Chain A
């Protein structure tokens, strides 16, 4: 503990013997404590700074009991960030960097011979991409530091990222210092130091991509579901009977007359089945509507459906056009086993209202593969991963928008 030479406040020294300077938290005056008696480097008389992590606060991070002993703010043309110096008497100094609501835990790179600096920096087996560079200036300082940092000091920095890691080189007065930073969740900082970090607004330089992280978390469920869906569908394809009954023709009656015709019997052998009734005809500017009833010959249970289609074509100032089609397939779902008759009443006419002269061909397929379920379930399973893929790309775009050449 020393008395500030510029104001009546006491200045606590938490790493005494290892600190080179201390900035009074009451008035901001920078004091050289490497000499006795302490000497004023720069005198200030301003309101006390209140950093997010208060000086002297303690917390446990990475299995280290750490105490905040210094804080400073740097800024460049892009914005500002805070750097906190933490101290443990056994392990020494480390850093917490707070940048736009994101935290990183940093340690100095002692052995720089392991660094291979090219367009990509390689360190400890990982490649780091150059992300940002610039000249940063110290805006203010409070607490103590092991080197003579002072307000207005400038460094040229380069950040290289390999999320969640980042390497930062800082060059000043002909000396380059490297720091290795690792992204740390704000909740961990909050729990360790008993603070409340502001909510994150965007993806930071070395933040692991949140969407891709989530994609990795759900990957086991995604793979297991896709395997299960494929197995169920293959089992269904192998199980269904797919019986195709001989096709029959339905002939239309006179104008506004819908003759009733009965086709069958059809033996539905599957306990519960999906069935297709396809009606087709060579239409030309005409329409067909068939009101159909599938009747269980034993129980009388009925399944009503409509098979309707039309085909029109012509030409106008834009050229030739056509719409509709020559057939329609009705799906009859969840039909119990039994013997069935198909009762059909149909109308069909051309543009002039004349009844169709050609018949409609009806084809019935029993116990077909329900592909609709497969595609719907696949869509349901893949929708969220698809969103995460999209979100992940958007997050990366956002991350690199804050990069500098």
Chain B
């Protein structure tokens, strides 16, 4: 079981690094959003910085 100690040590280190990076980026697993890069959306700006209320 001695090798398990080092696997656990690596596992903990990876978990801590994950937490650090994920928290810095505001990332969470199972989030609700899907990203669409570079697209545009009708009436919502589409790169022109305009918005309106219907």
Residues of A within 8 A of B (CB): 210, 213-214, 217-218, 221-222, 224-225, 228-229, 232-233, 235-236, 259-265, 270, 272-275, 277, 293-307, 330-335, 339, 341, 343, 367, 370, 372-374, 376-377, 380-381, 384
Contact for B53 among A214, A221, A229, A262, CB less than 8 A? A262
B51→A301 contact, CB < 8 A: no
Most A Cβ at <10 Å: residue of B23, B24, B48: B23
A262→B46 contact, CB < 8 A: no
Contact for B8 among A218, A233, A341, CB less than 8 A? A218
B51→A376 contact, CB < 8 A: no
B16→A228 contact, CB < 8 A: yes
B54→A260 contact, CB < 8 A: yes
B41→A272 contact, CB < 8 A: no
Q: Give the residue name and chain of the A residue nearest to B7 (CB).
A: A384
**Would you give the 0/1 interface string for B21-36, flagging 1 where the beta carbon is closer than 8 Å to chain A?**
0111111111111111
A304→B5 contact, CB < 8 A: no
B26→A273 contact, CB < 8 A: yes
What are 23 pairs between A and B in contact, CB < 8 Å?
A214-B1, A217-B2, A221-B9, A232-B23, A233-B23, A261-B53, A262-B44, A262-B51, A273-B26, A296-B45, A300-B38, A300-B47, A301-B35, A302-B41, A339-B49, A343-B44, A367-B26, A373-B18, A373-B22, A374-B19, A374-B23, A376-B29, A380-B11
A270→B26 contact, CB < 8 A: yes
A341→B51 contact, CB < 8 A: yes
Contacts of A214 in B (CB 8 A): 1, 4-5
Contacts of A265 in B (CB 8 A): 51
Contacts of B28 in A (CB 8 A): 274, 331, 333, 370, 372-373
The secondary structure that dominates the B interface is loop
Residues of B within 8 A of A (CB): 1-2, 4-5, 8-9, 11-13, 15-16, 18-20, 22-54
B33→A225 contact, CB < 8 A: no
Most A Cβ at <10 Å: residue of B4, B26, B39: B26
Tell me the smallest distance from the CB of B15 to a CB of chain A, in Å. Answer: 5
B51→A297 contact, CB < 8 A: yes
Contact for A301 among B15, B30, B36, B50, CB less than 8 A? B36
Q: Give the residue name and chain of the A residue nearest to B48 (CB).
A: A297
**Top-5 shortest CB links A-B:** A333-B31, A330-B32, A274-B26, A300-B47, A225-B12
Contacts of A273 in B (CB 8 A): 26
B37→A225 contact, CB < 8 A: no
Bound together, the chains give a CA A213 to CA B2 distance in angstroms of 10
B25→A272 contact, CB < 8 A: yes
Bound together, the chains give a CA A299 to CA B54 distance in angstroms of 22
Tell me the smallest distance from the CB of B14 to a CB of chain A, in Å. Answer: 9
